[in-house]
Amino acid sequence: MNRINQKLKEDKKLLSIYFTAGYPSLNDTVTIIQNLEKSGVDMIEIGLPFSDPLADGPTIQASSTQALKNGMTTEVLFKQLKDIRKSVSIPLIIMGYFNPVLQYGVEAFCKKCQEIGIDGLIIPDLPVDVYHDEYKTIFEHYGLINVFLITPQTSDERIRFIDSVSNGFIYMVSSASVTGSQSGFGDENTAYFKRIADMHLKNPQIVGFGISDHETFTQATAYAKGAIIGSAFIKHLTSKKIDTINEFVNFVVK
Amino acid sequence: MNYNVNEKGYYGEFGGAFIPEMLYPNVEELRQKYLEVMAEPDFKKEFNQLLKDYVGRPSPLYFAKRLSEKYHTKIYLKREDLNHTGAHKINNTIGQILMAKRLGKTRIIAETGAGQHGVATATVCALMGLECIVYMGEIDIARQAPNVARMKMLGAKVVPALSGSRTLKDATNEAIRDWINNPVNTHYIIGSAIGPHPYPDMVTRFQSIISEEIKWQLKEQIGRENPDYVVACIGGGSNAAGTYYHFLHEPDVNIIAVEAAGLGVNSGESAATSVLGKEGIIHGCKTLLMQTNDGQITEPYSISAGLDYPGVGPMHAHLCKTGRAEFMAITDDEAMTAGLELCQLEGIIPAIESSHALAIFEQRTFKPDDVIVVSLSGRGDKDLDTYIKYFKL
Ligand SMILES: Cc1ncc(COP(=O)(O)O)c(C=O)c1O
């Protein structure tokens, strides 16, 4: 069974952390992953940096720009991750935009992910319809779970379609925003979290965008299976050393 | 061969809507409604009325006698430079502002490079009393000060794009992010025939007034509707799309697309996407774009800010791939020389973008009887600074 599905069965609220590969330094990738696992994180999203990240706010954009300057490429990332499964056992997901995947070759990319032991992909600008018609069989052939986003504006009908195409979890964007642009959740967010929970989808939901601390983590996971932190973690990496990752994680899950 | 968009939003293999889910409701609403709205008699009436009374259409089709004599052929200029705000861009912004109103939107966003589309958007927002926010690369704000001032006078808020290379592509990213953050009340007026479906098709249809007029104007002037060639410069490709539209399926009309070669196609400082680009995804559509082997989008260069875009609209990628259009690349120097020549032979100061289209006559010979229509997409007022520096005037 895919590590993501296994993890989702555990009887706890999951903490997933996003970071941009190649940031702060080109060769931090493996250490960051190992430190995150040691700190008790449940799942990791490894960001493959892109020059034009449409869905990201200033924090992740800046880390992507820096990572590219540091020399990160698809090839370099795959090399860095070559032996990752010798030391890390939690689910690993690559999150990136579609153009770099397309240039690598979708099938070649998926094959490489399987060889390394990547469990899933999140590609925000690969729409569910295109995935369903053109790429689903390839992803499944290489044992990869593709994760789709929903937002407060996504219609129930479309959520049901996304649920039917998904085989891991659904990435629930907390509010209409790019990454890193929120502070705290209000009634509107909570109502949305509850509305989705009440749909009793076949895939569990993990909330992302706007989660930065213990309070927002608790609010987000009141109805959902877990939560993803990105920008707040990047900020921590920017101001602190990568051997203080456990401080950040302890501060979120306590 | 079909050169128009198909029902799935593709031109051959190019186009589509590669957008994050956050944009789906907005883009989908537009996709479902744009053709219906554009077909409404009320919409058509208002659009045509504004094009006539406010923009000043039809724009003249002018037989450039002295230019024709010099190149021993028959050159007609489609005078988009005489439109209100000085370029073809306003055809699209008039259409889209009416669309935005019909969709019940109250807030307008746009991206701009040189500022021409920003000014055209600020203009129609003032006309309709709608809030207007224009994203512009920090570097472009510094080099296009007069257009920044125009937008401000027209009541728009100009927001600097501080990310990435701080030019047009980043301004486009910022506009898209704004749309993600404001999904309910906002309409995004894209400035060229680019972006996710239905934008390339919608912009093309609004600009197709250019070739619609060329047809009856040529008929009036020379007794036939079809020229032998239509020529236009390509940034994202909106003036070109409008100039070609009604001739796409007329096999006797040759299409020439002119890209900016910058300092030379192989100089590393160029915007000749059809030569340097590869298939990929930029700003929500699959098309030809300039990128690294790794799929990172690279920064183009041209002396004309309006041609300084790393992609081309998907319709043009298809015209290129199928061979329906002939693509030519013109350097900075060739364009500047052609611009000055038009001033001296015809008394018209062209936009540097349009000068690229005019420069083909030095590169290529035509028959004396050939009828060639060139889109003079804009006037040169905005480029005076560049002309002054270049020619040390
Ligand atoms: C006068 C003029 N011509 C051409 C262009 C290029 O745009 P497009 O390729 O969409 O016509 C611009 C863009 O700013 C322009 O201002």
Question: Which H, E and C letters describe chain B, residue by residue?
Answer: CCCCCCCCCEECCEECCCCCHHHHHHHHHHHHHHHHHHHCHHHHHHHHHHHHHHHCCCCCEEECHHHHHHHCCEEEEEEHHHCHHHECHHHHHHHHHHHHHHCCCCEEEEEECCCHHHHHHHHHHHHHCCEEEEEEEHHHHHHCHHHHHHHHHCCCEEEEECCCCCCHHHHHHHHHHHHHHCCCCEEEECCCCCCCCCHHHHHHHHHCHHHHHHHHHHHHHHCCCCCCEEEEECCCCHHHHHHHHHHCCCCCCEEEEEEEEECCCCCCCCCCHHHHCEEEEECCEEEEECECCCCCECCCCCCCHHHCCCECCHHHHHHHHHCCEEEEEEEHHHHHHHHHHHHHHHCCCECHHHHHHHCHHHHCCCCCCCEEEEEECEEHHHHHHHHHHHHCC
Average pLDDT over residues B81-105: 98
What local confidence, expressed as pLDDT, does residue B31 receive? 97
Chain A residues close to B284, C-beta within 8 Å: 54, 125
At B209, is the pLDDT very low, low, confident or very high (cuts 50, 70, 90)? Answer: very high
Report yes or no: B10 and B4 within 8 Å, Cβ to Cβ: no
Look at residue A6 and tell me if it is in a domain: no
Residue matched to tokens 């082997």: B293
What local confidence, expressed as pLDDT, does residue A175 receive? 85
The DSSP result for A83-111, as a single string, is TGGGT--S-EEEEE-HHHHHHH-HHHHHH
Look at residue A2 and tell me if it is in a domain: no
**Count of CB atoms within 10 A of residue A88's CB?**
18
Nearest CA to ligand 1 atom 7: B235
Nearest CA to ligand 1 atom 5: B306
Nearest CA to ligand 1 atom 12: B306
At A188, is the pLDDT very low, low, confident or very high (cuts 50, 70, 90)? Answer: confident
At B215, is the pLDDT very low, low, confident or very high (cuts 50, 70, 90)? Answer: very high
Active site residue A28: no
Going from the Cα of B228 to the center of ligand 1, the distance in angstroms, rounded, reads: 23
Chain A residues close to B181, C-beta within 8 Å: 176-178, 181
Distance, CA of B201 to CA of B179 (rounded, Å): 20
What local confidence, expressed as pLDDT, does residue A115 receive? 98
The answer to whether residue A98 scores a pLDDT higher than 80 is yes
At A111, is the pLDDT very low, low, confident or very high (cuts 50, 70, 90)? Answer: very high
For residue A197, the enclosing domain spans: 13-253
H, E, C per residue of B53-117: HHHCCCCCEEECHHHHHHHCCEEEEEEHHHCHHHECHHHHHHHHHHHHHHCCCCEEEEEECCCHH
Judged by CB atoms closer than 8 Å, whether chains meet at A103 and B180 is answered as no
3-state secondary structure of A45: strand
Out of A28, A42, A45, A119, pick the active-site residue.
A45
Residue B208, phi then psi, degrees to nearest 5: -70, -10
> Is B192 touching ligand 1 by the criterion CB < 6 Å?
yes
What local confidence, expressed as pLDDT, does residue A133 receive? 95
Judged by CB atoms closer than 8 Å, whether chains meet at A103 and B25 is answered as no
Q: How many domains does chain A have?
A: 1
Look at residue A3 and tell me if it is in a domain: no
The answer to whether residue A181 scores a pLDDT higher than 80 is no
Distance, CA of A62 to CA of A52 (rounded, Å): 11
CATH number at residue A137: 3.20.20.70
Look at residue A82 and tell me if it is in a domain: yes
Look at residue A165 and tell me if it is in a domain: yes
Going from the Cα of B353 to the center of ligand 1, the distance in angstroms, rounded, reads: 6
What local confidence, expressed as pLDDT, does residue A243 receive? 85
Distance, CA of A147 to CA of A162 (rounded, Å): 9
At A6, is the pLDDT very low, low, confident or very high (cuts 50, 70, 90)? Answer: very high
Best residue in B31, B163, B170, B279 for a mutation probing chain A (most A CBs within 10 Å): B163
Measured CA angle at B128 (ends B125, B133), to 5 deg? 20
Q: Mean pLDDT for chain B?
A: 97
At B165, is the pLDDT very low, low, confident or very high (cuts 50, 70, 90)? Answer: confident
Look at residue A67 and tell me if it is in a domain: yes
Out of A28, A37, A42, A56, pick the active-site residue.
A56
Average pLDDT over residues B152-168: 93
Nearest to B56 by CA among B18, B82, B20, B23: B82
The answer to whether residue B92 scores a pLDDT higher than 80 is yes
What local confidence, expressed as pLDDT, does residue A166 receive? 97
Active site residue A45: yes
Query: Which residues are CB-contacts of A137 (< 8 A; sequence separation ≥ 6)?
Result: none
3-state secondary structure of A47: strand
Strands B10-11 and A226-229: unpaired
Judged by CB atoms closer than 8 Å, whether chains meet at A52 and B297 is answered as yes
Distance, CA of B376 to CA of B86 (rounded, Å): 10
What local confidence, expressed as pLDDT, does residue A184 receive? 80
Going from the Cα of B220 to the center of ligand 1, the distance in angstroms, rounded, reads: 28
Q: Tens digit of pLDDT for each residue in B54-89?
A: 999 999 999 999 999 999 999 999 999 999 999 999
What local confidence, expressed as pLDDT, does residue A129 receive? 95
What local confidence, expressed as pLDDT, does residue B167 receive? 86
Look at residue A241 and tell me if it is in a domain: yes
Q: Tens digit of pLDDT for each residue in B335-351?
A: 999 999 999 999 999 99
Look at residue A7 and tell me if it is in a domain: no
Q: Which residue would you say has higher pLDDT here, A177 or A191?
A: A191
Best residue in A59, A65, A103, A126 for a mutation probing chain B (most B CBs within 10 Å): A103
